Amino acid sequence: MKIRLLYLCFFTLACLAFSGETGFELEYPDYFPAPVYDFGKNPLSPEKVRLGRVLFYDPVLSRDGTISCASCHSPYNGFAHTDHDLSHGIDDQIGTRNAPALFNLAWQKSFMWDGAINHLDMQALAPISHPAEMGEAIAHVVSKLQKTERYPGLFYVAFADSVVTGEYILKALAQFQLTLVSANSKYDEVKRGNTTFSEQEENGYRLFLQNCNSCHREPLFSSFDFANNGLPLDTTLNDLGKWQITHQREDSLRFKIPSLRNLTYTYPYMHDGRFRRLSQVINHYTSGIQISETLAGELKKPISLTNDEKTDLIAFLLTLNDTRFVFDPNHQFPKEILLPSEGFQN
């Protein structure tokens, strides 16, 4: 009995110790707006972020253990899938859209190219359940993780509860993704007064502010709103974007506006990955716009740029590459946990 009491006391203390002492706040520059993610409902802790990181890289989330989140969201590609126009999934299937880059997610109020997902917590459910992505069911993921040696302990350390639940999985995955903050590009260094743009970059910045900034708004380089940017419909996909979710006429061909950070690492571009080079993207905006009922107002008047101006604009866009983010070891495969047999220490 005494031992049991001691045991209970220990648990009480342990639980008190877990109640918020280890929490931390997301770091971001003072020129960023306030995040939209509600951290009050899912306060960050290093243990939850670590669990989320392990889950992100573990193919156990897929039906046959072949596909992890990182399969299509690779850290070295700004968490996009470089060189693949459409996403790849289980059983060598190919999806219908380009895997988007993952960073600065705490500032985004909806997810997917069509905005189907309304909260970062719920985002992971879509690829886990999709028959052409991971082909699994969240309830089955819970029972698989519960049976492992690795996970009940990681959940206990993170949530003071060794019982795996869907809520914990989703919250942990969200926490890891929330820490993917890209704010260390040359642009950011210029913003902070630590360096200056070259003359060419400066001119590109001016052109950017004139022609691009209303949708790709700095400093996140997106308003994260939805727009029809005048791409001709690819009739092999017939993707009408946000219309497929809302069935409202005004949403036809509207897609989520992506951030322009880390473009070197995240090609190909657009929701269907149709453009491999930035020059193709710029040429689309100057001479490829297809007029339609829902075309963004900003694009109704053609953008006109000389060849030199196009080069300058691209020079500026390349200052948005954030090498420190892309190669940040804190975001990479957690080999000390997922490959302990190779002798990596925690």
Partner 1 sequence: MKFYLLLLPMILSVSLYGQAEKGNVQFELVFGGQPVEIGKNYYLPSARDSIRLETIRFYISHIQFFDDDRLMGSLKKSHILLDTENPESLHFSMPEGVSGNFNRIRFLLGTDSLANVSGAMGGDLDPIQGMYWAWQSGYINIKIEGVSSVCPARNHLFQFHIGGYQPPFASSQIVDLPVSASQQIVIRADLEAFFSQVNLSETYQIMSPGGQAVKYAKLFGSVFSVTQ
Q: Which residues in this chain contact partner 1 in the complex, by CB under 8 A?
A: 8, 11-12, 15, 38, 41-42, 116-122, 125-126, 128-130, 137-139, 142, 160-163, 165-168, 170-171, 174, 245-247
Give me the least distance between CB of 161 and partner 1, in Å please.
Answer: 5
Give me the least distance between CB of 132 and partner 1, in Å please.
Answer: 11
Report the helix count and the strand count for the chain, using DSSP H and E: 15, 2
Give the DSSP letter of residue 231. Answer: P
Q: Which is nearer to partner 1, 159 or 285 (CB)?
A: 159
Residue that is written with structure tokens 């990955």 in the block: 273
Structure tokens at 230: 């005048």
Give me the least distance between CB of 246 and partner 1, in Å please.
Answer: 8
Give me the least distance between CB of 131 and partner 1, in Å please.
Answer: 10
Q: Which is nearer to partner 1, 180 or 212 (CB)?
A: 180
Give the DSSP letter of residue 227. Answer: E
Give me the least distance between CB of 79 and partner 1, in Å please.
Answer: 20
Q: Which is nearer to partner 1, 174 or 220 (CB)?
A: 174
Tell me how far apart the alpha carbons of residues 104 and 48 are, in angstroms, rounded to a whole number: 18
Tell me how far apart the alpha carbons of residues 293 and 296 are, in angstroms, rounded to a whole number: 9
Asked if 164 and 145 count as a contact pair (C-beta separation under 8 A), the reply is: yes
Q: Which is nearer to partner 1, 179 or 266 (CB)?
A: 179
Burial status of residue 213 (CB atoms within 10 A of its CB: 0-12, 13-18, 19 or more): middle
Q: Tell me how far apart the terminal alpha carbons of the chain are, to the nearest angstrom.
A: 36
Q: Which is nearer to partner 1, 146 or 283 (CB)?
A: 146
